[in-house]
Amino acid sequence: MGKIVSVTSKLRRDRARKLRSRQTEAEARLWEVLRAGRLDGWKWRRQAAVGPFIVDFLCLEAAVAVELDGGAHADQVERDARREAYLRQHGLQVLRFWNSQVADDLDRVAWTILSACRESDPGRRGQRVDRGRRTPGR
């Protein structure tokens, strides 16, 4: 018998796939820095589901989520605050950058992310963070 997958998790997975295929130029540039352990060996996921949300980039080992914001986010301050509160509740440090910061100073953005990873609890290295998923029987 196959794995039972809820409709919402399947929809979230499909949405994450769509977001990965339609990434912005800023997301593509930052992904080139983060992917395949290129940032000091830290492993990153892009468009990763965390509870009801999909974060742009997620490092489970360091418990760091990176969000890139374009012009639309200027109008979504309240929604972004709720989202950030949820992510912090689940043990994630959230870093936010404007797309223009990635375009204008990618090195500084990468250094800020690397610093956050290095400053994370060293005892966490190799451990997973609670992504808000429900497990059968809970």
Q: Which of 112, 82, 111, 81 is nearest to 95 (CA)?
A: 112
Which tens digit of pLDDT belongs to each residue from 75-86? Answer: 678 888 999 999
**Residue 19, domain member (yes or no):** yes
**Residue 73 belongs to what domain range?**
7-124
Tokens 């540039």 belong to residue: 29
- Predicted confidence at residue 104, as pLDDT, reads 97
Between residues 4 and 64, the one the model is more confident about: 64
Nearest in space to 130 (alpha carbons), one of 87, 95, 71: 87
> What pTM, to 2 d.p., does this model score?
0.76
The first and second tokens of residue 7, run together, are: 């409709």
Strands across the sheet containing 53-59: 45-50, 53-59, 64-69, 93-98
Residue 136 in domain? no
pLDDT at 138: 39
User: DSSP strand E in the chain: where?
Assistant: 45-50, 53-59, 64-69, 93-98
Q: How far is CA 112 from CA 13, 34, 131, in A?
A: 29, 12, 23
For residue 30, what pLDDT is reported?
97
22 domain-assigned = yes
Q: Is residue 118 part of a domain?
A: yes
Instruction: Give yes or no for residue 68 having a pLDDT over 50.
Output: yes
In this structure, is residue 62 part of a structural domain? yes
1-42: per-residue pLDDT in tens?
Answer: 444 445 556 666 666 566 666 789 999 999 999 999 999 999
Residue 22 belongs to domain with CATH number: 3.40.960.10
DSSP run (H or E) holding 10: helix 7-21
Residue 138 lies in a domain: no
Q: What is the rounded CA–CA span in Å between residue 66 and residue 117?
A: 11
Looking at the structure of the chain, the number of domains it has is: 1
pLDDT value of position 42? 93
Distance CA 53, CA 11 (A): 12
Give the residue carrying structure tokens 């196959």: 2
Digit-coded pLDDT (tens) for 85-109:
999 999 999 999 999 999 999 999 9
